[in-house]
Amino acid sequence: MRNMASSASSKGIAAIVGVGPNLGRSVARKFAHEGYTVAILARDLGRLSRFADEIAREEKAQVFAIRIDCSDLRSVREAFEGVLSLGSVEVLVYNAYNQQPVSWNPTIFTDIRVEQFEKSIAVSSVGAFHCAQQVLPGMVERGRGTVLFSGCSASLNGIAGYSELCCGKFAMRALSQCLVKEFQPLGIHVAHVIIHGIVGAPRGAVASTSQHRLLVGEQEEESRGRDGLMDPDALAQTYWHLHIQDRSAWTQEIDLHPSNQRYM
């Protein structure tokens, strides 16, 4: 864990799980900008520490980098021991996904290895389950809190060649719906954010077109061209507005599309 300041903000902790260079980093920056102490979690601690330094410097905020492997219960528990040592978790954003080491192309079902399928389920849904279990007791005790899950088009529809992705994302959506029914009456806002599109680097960021990625949670796919890419900073605004919604009108699921997306 990388400590960027000596004490946590009085607003509490925003824990962002699955922080990569685009959406996760933008969500973390937004909550830091709004005065929260931010814990950012991912597997690559070196890259995560660089993000923590950057956000802390730009936003004059308290940022902590903590390594986590969302497919491993022990790693999740150890990571959240670190998070909870900072203070009360007021916000959990679960944005993790099991990235494949090769480019994102459809995989013939019979060619999918069972280990690959199980790892995808473990990160997308079982990891979300474990992380939510770490923070919900404290939220219930305080009678407030926000839990946000990042989904994608595969959360809603099966896609040929992407069974491991769809099954993991389907399960996470079901988890979100179950938590809404159980915890919303206790003052906990749970919502599922479905991102239908390609998320690029933030506007103004220096990046070649070959570095643009498709994000479905934290998954990314190389994309050609800039047109139609969704700005992660704009998406982060939606996560923030979900958190500050009045409890008399909570959103439970939201679909986000780029304006130029064609509908079939």
Question: Mean pLDDT throughout 91-108?
Answer: 75
Confirm if 206 and 199 have CB atoms less than 8 A apart: no
Domain ranges for the chain: 2-256
Query: Is 234's pLDDT higher than 60?
Result: yes
Summarised one tens digit per residue, pLDDT across range 199-209 is 888 876 644 33
Measured on CA atoms in the order 91, 233, 263, 209, is the torsion positive or negative? Answer: negative
- Specify the higher pLDDT residue, 133 or 111: 133
**pTM, rounded to two decimals:** 0.87
Helix (H, G, I), strand (E, B) or coil at 151: strand
Res 246 pLDDT > 50:
yes
Span 48-82, pLDDT tens digits: 999 999 999 999 999 999 999 999 999 999 999 99
Show contacts of 220-225: CB within 8 Å, 24+ apart: 220/20, 220/22, 220/99, 221/103, 221/104, 222/103, 222/104, 223/198
| CATH architecture assigned to 2-256 | 3-Layer(aba) Sandwich (3.40)
Q: What whole-number distance in Å separates Cα of residue 185 and Cα of residue 157?
A: 29
Is residue 213's pLDDT more than 70?
Answer: no
Tokens of 239: 């996560």
What mean pLDDT is reported for the chain? Answer: 87
User: Residue 216: its pLDDT value, please?
Assistant: 41
136: part of which helix (H) or strand (E)? helix 127-142
> Residue 188 in contact with residue 78, Cβ under 8 Å?
no
Amino acid 82 reads G
Q: Is the pLDDT of residue 191 over 90?
A: yes
Provide the pLDDT confidence category of residue 1 given band limits of 50, 70 and 90: low
Q: Exposed, middle or buried, 88 (CB in 10 Å: 0-12/13-18/19+)?
A: middle
Backbone phi, then psi, for 151, in 5-degree steps? -115, -170
